[in-house]
Structures are given as C-alpha cells and as structure tokens.
Amino acid sequence: MSALAFPCTFPIKVMGRTRDGFAQAIVEIVQRHAPDFVAATLEMRTSSAGNYLSMTATVNATSREQLDDLYRELVAHEMVAMVL
C-alpha cells in the first residue's frame, strides 16, 4: 500500500553534470510520463562551481506506477547522476 494519496503533486529532483541538452532531456522524459507538466515550472539550480545542475520537476502524480516508471526512465538516462 502506498503512503501517498493519488492524485497529488509530487516533486522529483534530478541531478547531473551541467551539459547542453540536459534540461531539455529531463523535460521530455517528465512530459512523457506526466503530459500536463509545464516546462516553465522546472526549477533549476547550478552548483557553486557550475559543474552540476539540479532540477526539480513537480508533477501531478496519478499513480504509484506512473511515478515508478518516471523514476526508472530518469535513472536510466546517461546524463542523470541521481534522482530523489
């Protein structure tokens, strides 16, 4: 049983090295699993040295399966270092 009650808003934090196309790749993955996600709401922060980028995508989650599938695809992406 899930501790979350669906539907709900759910923040997903994605971190990786700062690279061209990284943010766009994350937006595309998130929108594949949460089609109503608006790219303009993606929160981005660079590390103090500028080597890493952390992004928070807050999605309207409809099921545990949706979140699990999104998490699996993000973790499998070659530019992603960590997903929380």
The pTM for the full model equals 0.93
Mean residue pLDDT across the chain: 96
- pLDDT, residue 58, reads 98
* Residue 1 in this model has a pLDDT that exceeds 90: no
One-character DSSP codes across the chain? --SS-SSEEEEEEEEEE--TTHHHHHHHHHHHH-TT--GGG-EEEE-TTSSEEEEEEEEEE--HHHHHHHHHHHHHSTTEEEE-
